[in-house]
Copies of this chain bind each other. A is one copy, B any other.
Amino acid sequence: MKGVGRRIQDDLSRLILSGEWAPGRRTPTEAELMAEYGCSRMTASRAMSDLAARGLVTRRRRAGTVVAHPPVHSTSVLDIADIQAEIEARGMRWAHRLLDRQERSASPDERWLGDAGVLAVTVLHLADDDPFALERRLIGLKAAPDARDVDFAVHAPGRWLLDHSPWTDGEHRIAAVAADRDATEALDLAPGEACLRIERRTWADDLGVTWAWQTFPGQAYDLVARFAPARQDPR
């Protein structure tokens, strides 16, 4: 027996992290947890309070406890992939244009995306009708076969993947680069202008899902992250 409080936290965090319980959904009250788990109120209260400290739920007296909404300015620089949400969070109107779409087999460099071929798309993101970011993306059709049937002129590929394709690991690479020819054209920049380049790869348990390069004009964009110290404490 690992402890009832622990079980409550594990059960609820699984439901929340898997998306089964959407943000805003009410969780059981402390009284309901007492009945369901046969524990005292202190135990239920402590468990929920810990979940709140971890940011998974939000508690308010009388209003009850609800599944927390994802952080607005993310807890980490790492969630930046959803350009649509970023633009809208800045109060601007987001739009995108599909510039290119091809299905082909994976090159040796891209083998980690699986052996079912890749979808290569190029998308321009607009904020209030101005070019905001150029995104080139490969999607592994083994991990995300449904992507074949999606019209990426309607759904932006980054957002569609976030909504439809679960992943377990990711990697970012962030660098400053001079604008190349494609970026100069698409983003209407001066040649050589400083741009932020974000390269993002994600996996679902060792199978590659997607590989994206996003280029932002330096003056239009910066990444903000809030964080706490990494800990060496054993749990």
Contacts and interface: CB of A to CB of B under 8 A. Distances in A.
A10 B233 CA distance: 10
A71 interface: yes
A73 to B, nearest CB: 7
The oligomer's copy count stands at 2
Binding site secondary structure of chain A: mixed
Contacts of A176: 176-177, 194-197, 216, 218
A196 B170 contact: no
B58 A228 contact: no
Interface in A65-85: 68-79
A28 interface: no
A71 B178 contact: no
Given A175-B218, A176-B195, A195-B176, A235 B232 contact: no
A173 B222 contact: yes
Pick from A13, A74, A225 the residue with the most CB of B within 10 Å.
Answer: A225
Interface string A30-63: 0000000000001000100010111110100000
